[in-house]
Structure 1
Amino acid sequence: MGHGHAHRATGGIDDEIRVGTAARTALLTALGIALVATLVGLVVWWPPGDAAQRAAESGGQAAEFAAPGVTTPSGTVVEVGQRCPGTGLPDGSGCSTLQVEVEGESDPVEIAVPPEVLDAGISEGDTVVLLRTPPPDDAPAEGAAYSYFGTDHDSTLVWLGLFFVAVVLAIARLRGLFAIFGLAFGGAVVWWWLLPALLDGAPGVGVALTGAAAIMYVVLYTTHGFSLRTSTALAGTLVGIVLTAGIGVVAIGDARLTGISDEGGAILATFGALDFQSLLGCAMVIAGLGVLNDVTITQASAVWELRGTSPHVSRAAVFASAMRIGRDHIASAIYTIVFAYVGTALILLMVLRVYDRPLLELLSTEQLGEEVVRALVTSIGLVLAVPITTGLAALIAAPVPLPDDEREYDAAGVA
């Protein structure tokens, strides 16, 4: 390994680490090639316009949120009726209803709601969103029909979002601000590029790799600064993304998963010619992105800190020490992935639990099978990324040779 100098970017420990020239050149070249490939993917799969219109032109069925003329006005609850007995919809006897004041209506309108809406604690003064179906052309204008669509959550989301930002900024300060920016950027990429590209029929795994790489380039460098330590973590993350995608494709095909496990998939199936197995592979990559980034930056930082405190030890010794940290991190990260899936699929798991069927038989269902495969694939990619990132970091952070007098001192066996 050739000799180099410390890569000065973020200060602190990064200024003290000796970096091999050949390793640095290879790392930055590989990241440059990956960046070019990411930019090419963004351009090639850039969605050209409205996805619904293209689906209709290509023979698919454009998705309609509601029938023509149906609107979604908001109204204020002025009276809450008693809850209907049982768990079904209201029976028209005046229970499980809301009296809602709607703009444009002289009197409050009565809206039937499911009993669980009342159980959630809705009360006078709350805002609800309604579906307004216009009357037939030959009927009077006041003959419009209203139905319940949902309860307005905007105020809760606003204070919760502001509280989240305040907590992050108060504790993480400038680093937290950069993390929030990265989160916003990632959300923008998913909403305005990744989802339209998938709806346009672009290959799911290719879109996942491109979108995930684009997010990681921006998120890692803005949050952790421009340094070889961050570049090493980025390289490990990109390798982990590729491994997750590859293992996911193999597992989905081998398990014969369809990718359609709920009502949402059935709706998209009418939208156009979409490859749902490819979409499932995309979902697996995106699902593991956050935890993967967490372990790679931690391992790169661990190697940098170990090298800073022990500049003369071998790369193998630094790798072994960092892997002891990595093994602990692997265990906690796997718990994070698995229990995150359990939380999101809790209702599904409860439904399956009440069935009088063996657990292994339930694994054959599409819903549970997808969740198990997703958890295993992302966990495998995560585990493999730890030694890969640690090894890359150990290669980049080169040891400092001992001075000649200290080398002779050690050789003499005095130390």
Structure 2
Amino acid sequence: MGADHTRSAPPTPPRVRRILIVLVVPLFLATLVAALVLWPSDPPRPEAANDTPRYHGTVTRVVNEPCPPNPVVPEGTPTTAGRQCGTVTVRVDSGPDAGQDVQTPLPDGPGAPRVSVGNEIILVSLIDPEDPSISAYNIAEHQRGKPLIWLAVMFAAAIVAFGRLRGLAALGGLAASFAILITFVLPGISAGQPPLVVAIVGAALIMFVVLYLTHGISAETSVAVLGTLGSLVLTGLLGLAATRATHLTGFGSEDATTLSMFRSDVDLHGLLLAGIIIGSLGVLDDVTVTQSAAVTELRHANPSFTRRELYRSATRVGRAHIASVVNTIVLAYAGASLPLLLLLTADTRALGQIVTSEFLTQEIVRSVVATLGLVAAVPLTTALAALVVTAGWRDTPGPGGPGGHDDGPDGDGPTPPTPRPGTDRSEALHALSTARARDTSPATGSRWPDPDRSTDTTW
């Protein structure tokens, strides 16, 4: 699979290809070796428990009834508002009572599912602890399998319809990313391996597989790989320094606290750093691939560009990209932490105390470190790309203008194309403003315009 362009890019000089191979192949082999060393041979498994039986069912009837007053809480208080009471008739679709209709109480309480006739739901069978022979059904939640399948089909169809073969490759890269996360990163951290090291190795493995699978094996992709890997290492070092400077422990979220109860051997501080690395990888890929492609396209559009001109022009593209991506990162973290941010309006402490608390400082560190890694990725990848696309050519001025390369290559690459000669401005304006008469001669009988006529629309 080649580069993502409709036209073929100028071939990379063999000497440059050899240099890229010498740089990329050892890094890939080192990543494989590190992954094999860190790969959990016997990942811990959760202890077997007596799970409550769950069965599928369909709601056939809903009867609402007034809720009885609570003798402890006065009527009209917020705790009693919004309650719902009644019964639900459900047709059991699986389990020992399949095909039968059962009655369950209407779900009530915070987070309880809202059901209506026709809803497909999940039933749980609860056994009376005093009399095990007596059991009752309760509604646990909605069935979400079918909607998720339809969403996945729509997602895949849209990607393939727009991207075609490139879209298929992107879906393959997405599947590979989830496979590496599920089979290596998560089991490795659960097995007690250093989360930061596991995250960097796993992110590098994802990067190699996804970038080369999606964008093809080329010098342009190799530059993006090197830029992404360098930015990932820098992001990890910045995250380590920032979390130590702010004395973060990793217990800034309820999920982390709950995890510590079940897995006391997991390093939550390292887990926080691992989350920063994995979260930054997707955006880093976007930035580095864009910068590498921008430099290649600029070089193809104007072969007379010097290395410095390529770097400056592509950096301007990178600045615009970073300006939008920074907002994307902040909003992504804000959206994921929206309940956390809402607590700010209910907290009576001073703003300084809220901002410097661990749960909010953790989110600030995530956003800042990820942004710094992205900002560093632009000049790093752009400089590498400019070196690669101009390698093998002399940067001395020639007859073609500054950096005109009319002396030919000093390596073993092909001679770059000669820039088109300039056109006099007055001649161009005259040609654009002059319209030739349409050929409507009866002798020819042709209704087509003169083939030499300008096709510009007359205003």
Q: Which runs of 5+ in 2 are unaligned?
A: 68-75, 407-421, 423-459
Q: Which residue of 1 aligns with 2:90?
A: 100
Q: Which residue of 1 aligns with 2:314?
A: 322
Q: Which residue of 2 aligns with 1:389?
A: 381
Taking the TM superposition and a 5 Å limit, the aligned residue runs for 1:8-407 are 15-19=9-13, 21=15, 23-52=16-45, 62=47, 68-82=50-64, 95=85, 98-102=88-92, 103-105=95-97, 106-114=100-108, 122-136=115-129, 139=131, 141=133, 143-270=134-261, 271-398=263-390, 400-401=393-394, 406=399
Between the aligned partners of 1:80 and 1:11, the Cα distance in structure 2 is: 58
Report the CA distance shift for 1:97/1:342 in structure 2 as closer, same or farther (over 3 A): farther
Between 263-272 and 187-196, report the one with greater CA deviation. 263-272
Report the CA distance shift for 1:99/1:12 in structure 2 as closer, same or farther (over 3 A): closer
Per-residue deviation, residues 232-282 of structure 1 (Å, max 9, x unmatched):
001101111111111111111111112123332223213231110001100
Q: Which runs of 5+ in 1 are unaligned?
A: 1-7, 54-61
Higher helix share: 1
Per-residue deviation, residues 369-404 of structure 1 (Å, max 9, x unmatched):
211110111111011011000000011111644999
Between the aligned partners of 1:258 and 1:405, the Cα distance in structure 2 is: 60
SS state of the match for residue 274, structure 2?
helix
CA contact (8 A) 1:237 1:296 kept: yes
Which residue identity lines up with residue 322 of structure 2 in the other structure? I
CA contact (8 A) 1:13 1:308 kept: no
The two structures have a TM-score, normalised by structure 1, of: 0.84
Which residue identity lines up with residue 33 of structure 1 in the other structure? P
SS state of the match for residue 128, structure 1?
strand
Per-residue deviation, residues 313-344 of structure 1 (Å, max 9, x unmatched):
22111101100000000101111111111111
Between the aligned partners of 1:11 and 1:160, the Cα distance in structure 2 is: 30
Per-residue deviation, residues 105-146 of structure 1 (Å, max 9, x unmatched):
45413144235667x75311212223333444x8353x1244
Between the aligned partners of 2:169 and 2:401, the Cα distance in structure 1 is: 48
Between the aligned partners of 2:164 and 2:175, the Cα distance in structure 1 is: 17
CA contact (8 A) 1:312 1:401 kept: no
SS state of the match for residue 108, structure 1?
strand
Between the aligned partners of 2:255 and 2:11, the Cα distance in structure 1 is: 51
CA contact (8 A) 1:96 1:115 kept: no
SS state of the match for residue 229, structure 1?
helix
Give 1:191 deviation, angstroms.
1.4
Which residue identity lines up with residue 73 of structure 1 in the other structure? Y
Between the aligned partners of 2:232 and 2:86, the Cα distance in structure 1 is: 49
Structure number, greater radius of gyration: 2
CA contact (8 A) 1:20 1:397 kept: no
Between the aligned partners of 1:241 and 1:301, the Cα distance in structure 2 is: 20
**Size of the alignment, in residue pairs?**
389
The two structures have a TM-score, normalised by structure 2, of: 0.77
The structure whose RCO (Cα within 8 Å, separation 6+) is larger is 1
Which residue identity lines up with residue 37 of structure 1 in the other structure? A
Between 195-204 and 354-363, report the one with greater CA deviation. 354-363
Give 1:148 deviation, angstroms.
3.8
Report the CA distance shift for 1:315/1:192 in structure 2 as closer, same or farther (over 3 A): same
Per-residue deviation, residues 202-245 of structure 1 (Å, max 9, x unmatched):
11111111111111111111111110000100110111111111
